[in-house]
Structure 1
Amino acid sequence: MAKPMTKTQLVAALAEEMGTDKKTASGALDAITSVITREVSQGGAVTLPGVGKIYCRERPERMVRNPATGEQIRKDADKVVKMTIAKALKDSVND
């Protein structure tokens, strides 16, 4: 498995793709991240065309096991961020 792309590498690739400088690309990436974070944290969802849908899902209260002791512990309800990958992206990986 290849190493994940760092933010610096992503900004450089984005700048090249956009035909602009790295400062503008970094600003665009930060703005997109900010919008996604705000929407998902408020319980909404964001669809990135061709990539997927990012959303927040609530998990109910449940019993979990402490792996060190084997003890059963009640875990409170919480929220978790999920992402559904778009079919176009799945198909491009499997081609």
Structure 2
Amino acid sequence: MAKPMTKTQLVAALADEMGSDKKSAGGALDAIISVITREVSNGGAVTLPGVGKFYCRERPERMVRNPATGEQIRKEADKVVKVTVAKALKDSVND
């Protein structure tokens, strides 16, 4: 498995793709992250065409097991962020 791309590498690749400098590419990436974070934390969803959909899902209260002791404990209801990968991205990986 290849090492994940760092933010610095992503900004450099984005700047190259945009034909722009790294500062404006970094600003664009930070703006996208900010919009996704704000929208999902407010209960909305964001779809990036060709990449996927980011959304918040509520999980109900449930019983879980402590792996160290085997004791069952009740876990409160919580929210988690989910990402559904777009079919186009899945297909590009399997080609």
Distance (Å, rounded) in 1 between the aligned partners of 2:32 and 2:48:
10
The unaligned stretches of length 5 or more in structure 1 are none
Deviation at 1:11, TM superposition (A): 0.2
Q: Which runs of 4+ in 1 moved over 6 A?
A: none
Q: CA deviation at 1:6?
A: 0.2
RMSD: 0.2
Match of 2:82 in 1: 82
TM-score by length of 1: 1.00
The CA deviation string for residues 12-49 of structure 1, in whole angstroms up to 9 with x for no partner, is: 00000000000000000000000000000000000000
Amino acid of the structure 2 residue aligned with 1:69: T
Q: Can you give the 5+ residue segments of structure 2 that lack an aligned partner in the other structure?
A: none
Aligned-residue sequence identity (percent) comes to: 89
CA shift for structure 1 position 81:
0.2
Count of residue pairs the alignment pairs up:
95
Question: Which letter does structure 2 place at the counterpart of 1:6?
Answer: T
The residue number in structure 1 matching 2:73 is 73
> Hey, what does 1:26 align to over in structure 2?
26
The two structures have a TM-score, normalised by structure 2, of 1.00
Report the alpha carbon displacement of residue 66 of structure 1 after superposing the two structures with TM. 0.2
